[in-house]
Every structure is written in structure tokens, then in C-alpha cells.
Amino acid sequence: MIDLDIDMRQYDCPFIDTTDDVDIAFSAVQWQLDTSDDQLETRLIARGESRGALEDGLRALRAHPNMRECYILSKRENVAQIGTTIEQTNAMETIQQNGGYITGPFQIEHGRERWHVGFDDDDAEDHALAELERHNDYHVEDRDQFGPTPLFDLLENSDSAMELLEGCRSLTETERETFEVASRNGYYETPRETTLDELADHFEISKTAVSMNLRRSERKILKGALSALDGMVGREEL
């Protein structure tokens, strides 16, 4: 399996056009492509920069000529869960006709869309990308190729991967930035390439505050990693 991470701009997509005009972003939760009806049904999270931006974005989305249906499932402040049905875009048709398939959720913001697309072989990938270039603007950000053994291992350990991901997501912005700067500057190397005093100077806070931020971030990441390991060990024992 070939898995592509593609930064895409479609010229016939309601979501992309809406994010071009309004400060709103969309993240797919569920999707279903109906090739017989040439349409895509989705459940998405819409997040506006403000409550007003959310309302403006939803109005623009409903008014788009390629939008068949758009309804609100729930809404609070500047975030809404919506259901939509849109006409099949050129990029969707190209991927589908060349044997491709969606392998993960897509995100749309600032007139660009992040796609995760899979192909079974190099020829299908080459044909699809050549056709995509005719009517869309895209850039392949990442490409991975999995054989059956690592792919099976990835699927079997998806719960463990989620545990580790949740541990990373639990970091506050300050904890994440402190941990990233410390790691990037060699704090965890042996011997250390930076000190708490230097990190304190970088963030313009006390040495004690830096130490506390690092310990909180380490504790959260370690908790996620241990939960992930427990899940992997449990499967191996079974």
C-alpha cells in the first residue's frame, strides 16, 4: 500500500472556496463517497475564528453551487458539527477512477485541503497524480509505502497509537513549546547541550518555572507512552 499526504487546492470544492472567503476551518469526522450519485456525504467539525465567522461560513457553504445539502447537527459558540452532501469534485473522481482511496480524515483551512490517499501500486499512483495536475493545484507532502506486515502491525496497534497521541494532545501550549525547545537544544542529550538556566533565559522565566513545565510535559507524554506499551504487551501476551 502506498499512502500519500497531499496538500491540495481544488477549484470546485465548496469547503475550500468557503475557507478562502471566511475565517473558518473544517475537519472531517466521517465521509462516504456515493459514486452512483456522484456525491460525497460528510460529517464535519466547523470552527470559526468567532461566532460571527462561523455563521458567515455556514451561510457561504449553503450558498455554494456545488453544495447539495448542509445542515447543523450541533453548535456551541464558534464550533459546529455539520452534515453535508456535495457534488463529486474533479479530484474525487480522479482518485476513484484510478483505484485510489481515502485513508484518513481531511482538513480544510485557508483555501487548502490536506488529503490522505492510498494506492495499491506505483502505476495507479502515477496516473492519478498526472490527471490531478490538470485541474487542481497540489503538493505531495509525504509518501509512505507499507508491506502487509507493517500495515497489519499498524492496524493491530491503532489503540496504542491513540493512547500516545492523546498523551501528546494533553500538553498545554506552554508545556509543548518548553518540551520542544528543550529537546531541540539538546537538553536530553548525554552530556546535556543546554541547561535549565539557559532555557529559563530563553523563555524569560525562572529556572523553577522551566523545570515545572518540563516535568509536567514529561509526565503526560510518559503516561501516554506507558498506556501504549501496556496495550502492545497485552496483545503480545494474548
Assign residue 179 the CATH number of its domain. Answer: 1.10.10
Is 114 found in the same domain as 61? yes
H or E segment and range at residue 210: helix 207-237
Is 169 found in the same domain as 75? no
Per-residue exposure over 117-151, b if at least 16 CB sit within 10 Å of its own CB, e if not: bbbeeeebbebbbebbeeebebeeeeeeeeeeeee
Is 176 found in the same domain as 75? no
> What is the C-alpha to C-alpha distance for residues 42 and 105, in angstroms, rounded to an integer?
10
Q: Could you list the pLDDT tens digit for every one of the 238 residues in the chain?
A: 788 999 999 999 999 999 999 999 999 878 887 777 788 899 999 999 999 999 999 999 999 999 999 999 999 999 999 999 999 899 988 998 999 888 777 899 999 999 888 898 889 999 999 999 998 999 999 888 765 555 555 556 666 667 777 878 888 999 999 999 999 999 999 999 999 999 999 999 999 999 999 999 999 888 888 877 777 654 544 4
User: Considering the domain boundaries, does residue 67 fall inside one?
Assistant: yes
User: Considering the domain boundaries, does residue 102 fall inside one?
Assistant: yes
Is 175 found in the same domain as 130? no
Inter-CA distances, 130 with 92, 127, 165, Å:
14, 5, 34
Look at residues 119, 145, 171 and tell me which one is the last residue of a structural domain: 145
User: Considering the domain boundaries, does residue 184 fall inside one?
Assistant: yes
Q: For residue 108, what are the domain limits?
A: 8-145
Is 127 found in the same domain as 42? yes
User: Considering the domain boundaries, does residue 2 fall inside one?
Assistant: no
Look at residues 145, 176, 211 and tell me which one is the last residue of a structural domain: 145
Closest alpha carbon to 54 in 62, 64, 46, 43: 46
Is 125 found in the same domain as 36? yes
